[in-house]
Amino acid sequence: MNKFEQLGLNEQLLKAINDMGFETPSEVQEKAIPVLLANETDMVALAQTGTGKTAAFGFPMIQKIDVNSRTTQGLILSPTRELCLQIANELKLYSKHIPSLNVAAIYGGASISEQARQVKRGAQIVVATPGRMKDMISRRMVDISKIEYCVLDEADEMLNMGFYEDISEILSHTPKEKNTWLFSATMPKEVARIAKKFMKEPQEITVGTKNSAAENVQHEYYVVGGRDRYLALKRLADTNPDIFSVVFCRTKRDTQKVAERLIEDGYNAGALHGDLSQNQRDIVMKAFRAKQIQMLVATDVAARGIDVDDITHVINYQLPDEIETYTHRSGRTGRAGKSGISMVIITKSELRKIHSIERIIQQKFETKKIPTADEICEIQLYHLASKIKNTEVNQEVENYLPAVNDVLEGIDREELIKKMVSVEFGRFVEYYKKAGDINVSANGSPQDFSSEGKVRYFINVGSRDGYDWMVLKDFLREQLQLGKDDIFKVDVKESFSFFNTNAEHSEAVLQMFSEFKMDGRFINVEISKNTRGGGGSRRKGGGGNKRGKNKGFGEKRFGKKGGKGNFSGGGKRRSRKKF
């Protein structure tokens, strides 16, 4: 008997589950489904995004619906049009083998009469955004007076978007004796309030620790002059060539402006805000999902409901007015068991706010310096070198090789490399040659910036080897038998990373990695040229030539933890279909 059968699901659902390739129920599914199937009860379930909540309420709802009746029996409220459509589509997949079950999606920005027709056709389940739902109730286009099950999905987001009144109003049109199932990633006061007001002795389910998303996120701030915000943003982007990020601005105007400047400066950026048409927003989101956009500049409102899991960085171009909003912003990264970084660009006068945020999120910020021109150039150079190394040769090139060889005749390897790198790299060097330091020293900040007594290292593993800052830190600590805070300022790039230790550990670090081989591959560590992260001069004759021996670069993984998240049972990130 498979695990889904054990939960008590019927034939048709099991068949659909099999079709979808789900193998094991996720934790929230395992906990919620049997309870909801066997009881007529209210429920509050807390689980992070990406943990399979839709099926946790969708399976039991579908199974409990009377498909011989065409009355609307289930209502699912969800915060955005996107999520609404997503849920409706999932439910259709789940009920694929139950032809008489109809699901209607109700949301703004599309024909209301068409949606009314969908409902009239006999939709037993209606998935709706609160705004459009209210509208359709008042026009008597939908009847929810006989529903038996009501789901409040992403309740924290809905309340955060100001839907409290709408939800109350909608629920006032539903029967008292229905069951209400509330699903949420977090449990702020407002959610507790709604649970208290609208639910009777709900069963509580919590998956992972409450708010556990926060633990995967590292918080950093950078102090600059008010006029240098944009420059700071650019440098942060240049230090992270593989960034996949949401950049938050406070106003629509700033959002548009920052995105435009980034695009002008050659970055893969896009804007997302309320002044764009729905169609424009759809196009931007599609490009973002496809990673054609690496920096999505967005307002808080427009970014709600972004359900992209692998965002590496959230950048607060400006801090929000409300601390709660910061939590929502930073929650866009560090999802589904991955780690993330939330960066804040602030001016000295805003430092106070950092401390208030620390109190609320109960996590410390790390104060960091905007990388210097030198540091950025070093990173870009390493990035370029590993990109060249990892590029697959295009067969077409062969045809032109004789001619190319003629042109390059007489240039030796060393010289050729220098020239090639300069071609690509020249633009950067030119720009940064003139660039000064834009950091503002933050007096009274808890940590000092001085690099004295600290050493910064380069290591030739990165995110493509399965590392993020947490995994790398743990790996190094384990290898070196160091304490919790002995490895710091860990910056993971695609195929290499940086980290710091105090000078007293540097000998041990270099010793450890002098001939370090793992899975047949050399892992080398060198002292980075950058003093900023805290370090001396590059070790002469270090591992430079050794790196050439690293055959199979990026193929083997090691030291990678089995996932923290719910989707990474086997530590594999690719296969979403296996828990």
Residues in contact with Mg ion by CB under 5 A are: 53
Which C-beta is closer to ligand ADP: that of 22 or that of 382? Answer: 22
Minimum distance from residue 312 beta carbon to ligand ADP (Å): 19
Position of tokens 């008997």?
1
The dihedral sign for the CA sequence 93, 94, 95, 96: positive
Which C-beta is closer to Mg ion: that of 53 or that of 473? Answer: 53
Q: How far is residue 306's CA from residue 286's CA, in Å, rounded to a whole number?
A: 11
Which C-beta is closer to ligand ADP: that of 54 or that of 451? Answer: 54
Binding partner at 573 among ligand ADP, Mg ion, none, C-beta below 5 to 8 Å by kind: none
- Integer angstrom CA distances of residue 433 from 21, 219, 238, 365, 372: 54, 30, 14, 31, 10
Minimum distance from residue 390 beta carbon to ligand ADP (Å): 29
Binding partner at 244 among Mg ion, ligand ADP, none, C-beta below 5 to 8 Å by kind: none
Using CB atoms, what's the residue nearest to Mg ion? 53
- 128, β-bridge pairs: 77, 106
> 328: exposed, middle or buried (C-beta count within 10 Å: 0-12, 13-18, 19+)?
buried
Q: What phi, psi does 178 have (nearest 5°)?
A: -70, 170
Q: How far is residue 70's CA from residue 117's CA, in Å, rounded to a whole number?
A: 13
Position of tokens 């300069």?
422
- 3-state SS class at 256: helix
Q: Are strands 488-492 and 497-502 parallel, antiparallel or unpaired?
A: antiparallel
Which C-beta is closer to ligand ADP: that of 23 or that of 486? Answer: 23
Position of tokens 């069951």?
179
Binding partner at 26 among Mg ion, ligand ADP, none, C-beta below 5 to 8 Å by kind: ligand ADP
**Do the Cβ atoms of 207 and 259 come closer than 8 Å?**
no
Out of 12, 13, 26, 496, the only residue in the binding site for ligand ADP (CB under 6 A) is 26
Minimum distance from residue 30 beta carbon to ligand ADP (Å): 9
Task: Indicate whether 49 belongs to the interface with ligand ADP (CB under 6 A).
Answer: yes
Beta strands in 129-278 (DSSP E): 149-152, 179-184, 203-206, 217-223, 245-248, 269-272
Show the CA angle centred on residue 480, arms to residues 477 and 485, nearest 5°: 40
Minimum distance from residue 564 beta carbon to ligand ADP (Å): 16
Can you give the C-alpha Rg of the chain in angstroms?
27
Q: What's the residue count for the chain?
A: 579
- Number of residues binding to ligand ADP, judged by CB under 6 A: 15
Using CB under 6 A, which of the segments 24-32, 66-74, 342-350, 538-546 binds ligand ADP? 24-32
- The dihedral region occupied by 336, where left means phi > 0, alpha psi between -120 and 50, and beta the remainder, is left
Out of 7, 9, 12, 22, the only residue in the binding site for ligand ADP (CB under 6 A) is 22
Binding partner at 576 among Mg ion, ligand ADP, none, C-beta below 5 to 8 Å by kind: ligand ADP
Minimum distance from residue 334 beta carbon to ligand ADP (Å): 14
Binding partner at 470 among Mg ion, ligand ADP, none, C-beta below 5 to 8 Å by kind: none
Which C-beta is closer to ligand ADP: that of 51 or that of 179? Answer: 51
Please count the helices (runs of H) and the strands (runs of E) in the chain.
Answer: 21, 20
Which C-beta is closer to ligand ADP: that of 87 or that of 246? Answer: 87
Binding partner at 267 among ligand ADP, Mg ion, none, C-beta below 5 to 8 Å by kind: none
Return the structure tokens found at 408: 């390059």
Using CB under 6 A, which of the segments 25-33, 383-391, 461-469, 500-508 binds ligand ADP? 25-33
Using CB under 6 A, which of the segments 20-28, 195-203, 217-225, 378-386 binds ligand ADP? 20-28
Which C-beta is closer to ligand ADP: that of 320 or that of 565? Answer: 565
Out of 12, 42, 54, 494, the only residue in the binding site for ligand ADP (CB under 6 A) is 54
Element (H, E) at 459: strand 454-459
Binding partner at 22 among ligand ADP, Mg ion, none, C-beta below 5 to 8 Å by kind: ligand ADP
Minimum distance from residue 101 beta carbon to ligand ADP (Å): 18
Selection from 53, 55, 310, 259 nearest residue 157 by Cα: 53
Binding partner at 451 among Mg ion, ligand ADP, none, C-beta below 5 to 8 Å by kind: none
Task: Indicate whether 51 belongs to the interface with ligand ADP (CB under 6 A).
Answer: yes
* Residues of span 337-376 touching ligand ADP by CB under 6 A: none
**Do the Cβ atoms of 208 and 46 come closer than 8 Å?**
no
Return the structure tokens found at 185: 């990633």
* Residues of span 520-579 touching ligand ADP by CB under 6 A: 576-577, 579
Position of tokens 């307002």?
299
Using CB under 6 A, which of the segments 18-26, 168-176, 207-215, 359-367 binds ligand ADP? 18-26
Minimum distance from residue 149 beta carbon to ligand ADP (Å): 17
Amino acid at 333: T
Q: How far is residue 451's CA from residue 442's CA, in Å, rounded to a whole number?
A: 15
465: Cβ contacts below 8 Å, ≥ 6 apart: 495, 554, 556, 557, 558, 560
* Residues of span 28-47 touching ligand ADP by CB under 6 A: 29, 47
Binding partner at 550 among Mg ion, ligand ADP, none, C-beta below 5 to 8 Å by kind: none
Beta strands in 99-176 (DSSP E): 103-106, 125-128, 149-152
Using CB under 6 A, which of the segments 23-31, 267-275, 380-388, 487-495 binds ligand ADP? 23-31
Which C-beta is closer to Mg ion: that of 45 or that of 284? Answer: 45
Selection from 96, 98, 102, 100 nearest residue 18 by Cα: 96
Position of tokens 């049009």?
81
Element (H, E) at 508: helix 506-512
Which C-beta is closer to Mg ion: that of 51 or that of 316? Answer: 51
Out of 7, 33, 46, 55, the only residue in the binding site for ligand ADP (CB under 6 A) is 55
Interface ranges with ligand ADP (CB under 6 A): 22, 25-26, 29, 47, 49-55, 576-577, 579
